[in-house]
Amino acid sequence: MFTAGRGRLVTLGAVVVGALALSGCASSDPLSSGGSEDSETLIVGSQAYYSNEIIAEIYSQALENGGFTVDRQFLIGQREVYLPDIESGAIDVFPEYTGSLLTALSDGDPSGTSEEIYTQLEEALPDGLSVLDQAEASDQDSWTVTQAFADKYSLTDLASLTNVTEPITVGGNSELQTRPYGPDALAEKYGVTIAGFTAVQDSGGPLTVKALVDNQIQLANIYTADPNIQTNDLVALEDPDGLFLPANVVPVVSDKVNDDAAEILNGVSAALTLEDLVSLNAESVNDQRSAGDIATDWLTANDLL
């Protein structure tokens, strides 16, 4: 079958045998599932959102500093994708946002202050999961317009959107259309007419911000901790009726997280202020630093490392 000369066949055989031998040296099993038998290993997950990844990285490094082994499973996806994993206990630590998680877990229409939402969330979580202390930092969805647009129509809060005389196009992820605070809620609650919806799948990222600044869309859902709000002169419209629930950063943990780990995570939450979160995000977006570096610097600056 092979008509190459004998010398070349020998070389080919040696390469194949060598490759097989080297692969035998590899110790990890690529087919093994994520769970580990080691009780000291905690699996930390994060959303497909850079800011959430930074917080998850902070948790991971703080836990590793406390002697735990951490298995990082970052950038999993949107809530519909990772929530089943958390509920089944496949993930041990996950940074979440109180209001958004409560809306996803409960059937009714939750409302209340930051503390009330936290209490309701504690009750809504299934067995085997709990939340540790919440941080002061919050990162909630908001309806955001440009400063120029706000000045043109004297926009201050969501209800003032009825002042707008030109057609309003909303831009954002496809699933925004089905969210309880989405364009339909604006129409029902405040009587705002939305002319259209343009899908931009980067979760309020640079494409959405650029579209907003270029006036291709007039209204977008930008997270309140996004540094682009200050950089690009955007205005997050006020929400006096609580269309968006308070969304404080809180670690959702499984039963595997013992008191030592909980103490470490609570220490992180106590130190994480809103200004901190915005500046962490700014480092990622404006300075393009990696989540690992940002996390290490913040933990060092706060004497947690």
Q: Give the rounded distance of the alpha carbon of 230 from its chain centre.
A: 20
- What residues numbered 235-274 form the site for other proteins, per CB under 8 A? none
* Among positions 37, 214, 259, 287, the unique one binding other proteins when judged by CB under 8 A: 214
Instruction: Report if residue 171 touches other proteins, rule: CB under 8 A.
Output: yes
Helix, coil or strand: residue 227: coil
Told to check if 211 binds other proteins by CB under 8 A, we report yes
- State which of residues 216, 230, 231, 258 lies at the interface with other proteins (CB under 8 A): 216
Q: How many residues bind other proteins (CB under 8 A)?
A: 23
Binding mask 38-77 for other proteins (x = CB under 8 A): ---------------------------------------x
SS3 36: coil
Is residue 217 a contact residue for other proteins (CB under 8 A)? yes
Whichever of 217 and 268 has its CB closer to other proteins, that residue is 217
Q: Which helix (H) or strand (E) holds 75?
A: none
Closest distance between other proteins and the C-beta of residue 80, in Å?
Answer: 4
Q: Which residue from 207, 241, 255, 258 is in contact with other proteins, where contact means CB under 8 A?
A: 207
Beta-strand ranges (E) seen in the chain are 41-45, 69-73, 93-97, 129-131, 143-146, 168-172, 194-199, 219-221, 234-236, 249-254
Cα angle at 259 between 253 and 260, to 5 degrees? 105
DSSP 244-255: SPP-BEEEEEET
Which residue type, as a one-letter code, is found at position 215?
A: N
Q: Please identify, using beta-carbon distances, which residue of 167 and 206 lies nearer to other proteins.
A: 206
Question: Is the torsion defined by CA of 85, 89, 91, 95 positive or negative?
Answer: positive
Q: Which two three-digit tokens encode residue 207?
A: 């494409």
Q: Is 113 helix (H, G, I), strand (E, B) or coil?
A: coil
Our finding on whether 198 is near other proteins (CB under 8 A) is yes
Query: Under the criterion CB under 8 A, does residue 86 sit at the interface with other proteins?
Result: no
Binding mask 177-196 for other proteins (x = CB under 8 A): xx-----------------x
Q: Which residues bind other proteins (CB under 8 A)?
A: 77-78, 80-81, 171, 173-175, 177-178, 196, 198-202, 206-207, 210-211, 214, 216-217
